[in-house]
Amino acid sequence: MALWIGNIVFALLAILFTVFAPWGWSGATIYGVVACFFAQNVWYFLWEGRKNILCFEFLFFIAYFFVNFAYPLFYYHQDTFFLFYCIPWEHNVISRATAIAYLGYAFYMLGLLSVRKRNADSSSQESKTDTVQSAKEVTYHHFLLLFACMIVFFGLYIITGGWQAMKSVYAGGGSLREVGIYSYFHVLFTIAAYLVCIFIFRLPRSRRWLYLLVVLCVMAIILSTGSRSVALSMALILVVGWNNNVRPFRLWEVLLLLMMGELLHHDHQLPTHVHSPDSQNFWRK
């Protein structure tokens, strides 16, 4: 009951922030909204007392913060180029838009509690166990097929010039807009790689480590070009797979992984306008 009451209070605060949000950027509104956003999540996770913190709610909390609150909180007053925010928009609504974003999240939390309660009332423990067991079923032959597809498509991607083209882009001499036959192999490789990462920890322990080593080598090759999106996506899938199938991560381990991901993000960051020197001026017009 206390969890419900707390989230109702946060929802009421979100309504007040939205109604009384001033015109233009307001530090009181932005900081207040972000403070409530973090306080509501701390309240939820502490009250739930979940041993497995690396869950959908936690990942959604992190993603929602960066999508909706990072820009007004950190970047709005800086002269930082973000392609999306260089599209003309009404800057005076930033405080109210931020408050509305939190309003949606506050009521999402109420809906989450409602769904969790309904599922707990309607589902027996036996049915949940059966569902988990059936979801983990994947044959070794199916995995081998996915793994072979990943290796073949990755090899074709390199042979057809994709690796060299990506290195050229991140060295400043190419363009992400260039399309070749390697682009199609890149799409096929990405799909196969994600599926391999999803199922790799559902293999028997004696069989998984060789495949995991190959996947890590592939990720290292991708990172060597300067590109990070596919490698980080694969890493995130592996982290969640380990958490769900091997051992749940502790809170300090999750925070350490987040810091490592942020460092990796900045170390391999490609300026958005590297392929077009005039793009920043174009979007600022």
DSSP letter for each residue of 189-222: HHHHHHHHHHHGGGS-HHHHHHHHHHHHHHHHHH
pLDDT at 154: 93
> In angstroms, how far apart are the furthest CA atoms of the chain?
61
38, 130 Cβ separation under 8 angstroms: no
**In whole angstroms, how large is the CA radius of gyration of the chain?**
23
pLDDT at 259: 75
What are 133-174's pLDDT values in tens digits? Answer: 444 455 788 889 999 999 999 999 989 888 888 877 767 666
pLDDT at 112: 84
What are 208-252's pLDDT values in tens digits? Answer: 889 999 999 999 988 888 777 888 888 888 888 888 778 877 777
pLDDT at 86: 62
Scanning the structure block, which residue is given the tokens 């001026």? Answer: 281
16 has pLDDT over 60: yes
Mean pLDDT of 59-70: 85
Element (H, E) at 46: helix 27-48
138, 198 Cβ separation under 8 angstroms: no
**Hey, what are 37's tokens?**
């956003």
pTM for this prediction = 0.56
263 has pLDDT over 50: yes
Mean pLDDT of 41-55: 75
Closest C-alpha among 53, 68, 50 to residue 256: 53
pLDDT at 273: 41
165, 227 Cβ separation under 8 angstroms: no
pLDDT at 99: 92
Query: For 56, what's the count of Cα atoms within 13 Å in the CB-facing half-sphere?
Result: 4
Per-residue pLDDT band for 51 (boundaries 50, 70, 90) equals: low
Percent of the chain with pLDDT over 70: 74
